Amino acid sequence: MRTHKIAAIPADGIGQEVISAGLEVLTALASKDGTFSFEVEHFDWGSERYKSTGTLMPTDGAEQLKQFDAIFFGAVGAPDVPDHITLWGLRLAICQPLDQYANVRPSRILPGITSPLRNATAENLDWVIVRENSEGEYAGNGGRAHQGLPLEVATETSIFTRSGVTRIMRFAFELARSRRRKHLTVVTKSNAQRHGMVLWDEIANEVAAEFSDVSWDKMLVDAMTVRMTLDPKSLDTIVATNLHADILSDLASALAGSIGIGPTANLNPERHFPSMFEPIHGSAFDITGKGIANPIGTFWTACMMLDHLGETRASEHLMQAIEKVTANEQFHTPDLGGTARTNDVTTALITEIRKT
């Protein structure tokens, strides 16, 4: 029996509800499969801990996580704590020391889900965005001086390193190669940002030469929003900087039907450290505690975690069950225009898993 050690960090808002639904589903899958199991440790890190102790996680938090095979993360952010404190105190405080430099965000229109785009279908909107997750605009490089005075100044300088850009380009080309279309779009803004983004473009060109079987093109990030909206079928795998991909991945999940559905993997591809898996949606305090959060984003995230753990059969099984459930409008939560509750979707999914 294979055992996978999972660190569960539900953290804030609906993160609690969706991670507990996700763990129920993972347990059901494991007992159905019979060849693997999970050993789950729960961590109470997040904004509540910050309010009572002053930190979102212990100072050796990232160190503690190193002994796990994967991290299953809910969401971080609270209405009464500044967002830069919660982001830097937990999510980035895990991603950066564990060098989870490849953030992977697939978007696809699942059965039964309607895209706001008139002509979008599962066949012509099927993308994976690769987000550079360790540097760029999120490097944390900058400072403030003369606070409160008229000459107050603040800087926020992006960092692009040759090794950082090269590794994310290689990862993206490899991912593109593994997909049917074998096509990569490199998102840039080198017309206006004439240093870091020019290095980004040059390295894309160099790495492309190692992947002669993968076709690729380059898009300015502003024009990319137009192409995603008007010509979704021209895209497949997409690579972009930390901030550009942050924005484009929200657009992608909205175009795929709902931000409640999208999954994320924060990968350390070399597996020197555990990778972290989280739904894309965030803490959603407006619906917290109401029992109506869409757990599908977390279930799809669980598929990515299973793939990473080598449980490919269970991952496929779970994805098929997800598609059966989304196909039935009775199991659509309010973000999809339905009236189903988190529990209804979870129970339907577990029933589906036990059946097939």
By the criterion CB under 5 A, which residues form the site for Mg ion? 246
Q: Give the nearer residue to ligand IPM in terms of CB position, either 87 or 220.
A: 87
Distance, in Å, from the CA atom of 254 to the CA atom of 247, rounded to the nearest integer, reads 11
d(C-alpha 299, C-alpha 353), whole Å:
12
The rounded distance, in Å, linking the Cα atoms of 1 and 347 is 26
Min dist. Cβ of residue 214 to ligand IPM (A): 26
- By C-beta, is 207 or 239 nearer to Mg ion? 239
| Shortest distance, position 280 Cβ to Mg ion, whole Å | 7
Structure tokens at 346: 């979870």
Residue 334 binds which entry of Mg ion, ligand IPM, none, with Cβ cut-offs from 5 to 8 Å by kind? none
Instruction: Find the residue with minimal CB distance to ligand IPM.
Output: 87
| 141 φ, ψ (degrees, to nearest 5) | -95, 110
251 binds, among ligand IPM, Mg ion, none (CB under 5 to 8 A by kind): none
Residue (28 or 276) nearer to ligand IPM, CB: 276
Tokens of 202: 């040059």
Q: Say whether residue 87 binds ligand IPM (CB under 6 A).
A: yes
In the complex with ligand IPM, which residue's Cβ is closer, 76 or 348?
A: 76
Binder of residue 77, out of ligand IPM, Mg ion, none (CB less than 5 to 8 A by kind): ligand IPM
* Residue 97 within binding range of ligand IPM, rule CB under 6 A: no
Identify the H or E element spanning 29. Answer: helix 15-33
**Residues of this chain, 23-82, that bind ligand IPM according to CB under 6 A:** 77
Sequence-ordered list of residues with C-beta below 8 angstroms from that of 257, at least 6 positions apart, any chain: 109, 110, 113, 114, 115, 116, 336
- Of 88, 122, 174, 282, the one binding ligand IPM (CB under 6 A) is 282
Question: Which of 25/256 has CB closer to Mg ion?
Answer: 256
Residue 334 contacts ligand IPM per CB under 6 A? no
Check binding of 246 to ligand IPM (CB under 6 A). Answer: yes
Residue 236 or 246 with smaller CB distance to Mg ion: 246
Q: Are 163 and 147 contacting, i.e. CB atoms less than 8 angstroms apart? A: no
Amino acid at 344: D
SS3 annotation, 143-193? EEECCCCCCCEEEECCECCHHHHHHHHHHHHHHHHHCCCCEEEEEECCCCC
Summarize as ranges the residues that interact with ligand IPM (CB under 6 A). Answer: 77, 87, 246, 282
